[in-house]
Amino acid sequence: MEDFPKGWEEVVKFMRTKWIDNDITRELSRRVSDPEIAVVIWGCMEDDSLPWLDYKMPAAGRKKPIDLLKSEKGRAEIRWILISNPWWPALGKRSEPN
């Protein structure tokens, strides 16, 4: 597994447009040392970003994202999970009628 999945930069660029300054994003920035990962977590989870950090993810062998973020290998796994999952709010909006 590569540390940076193909298309990661484009996902980060798109998700930066979703970033807003609020209590959740400030706390997310404090807890997630990698600013690109924080941006993508917010873009995918929005108000559920902080609870997601403590979620025991089946896709990661029931490990919590907050624990995976402590190592480069874990951060690589988080990048892959974020870019690979179709549960982003943004994806749901694409299927809405115009």
Quote the CA–CA distance of 75 and 2 in Å, as a whole number. 11
Q: Give the residue from 80, 77, 52 showing the smallest Cα distance to 66.
A: 52
Quote the CA–CA distance of 32 and 38 in Å, as a whole number. 6
Per-residue pLDDT of 20-56, as tens digits, reads 999 999 999 999 999 999 999 999 999 999 999 999 9
For 1-98, where are the E strands, in sequence order? none
User: Whole-prediction pTM value?
Assistant: 0.83
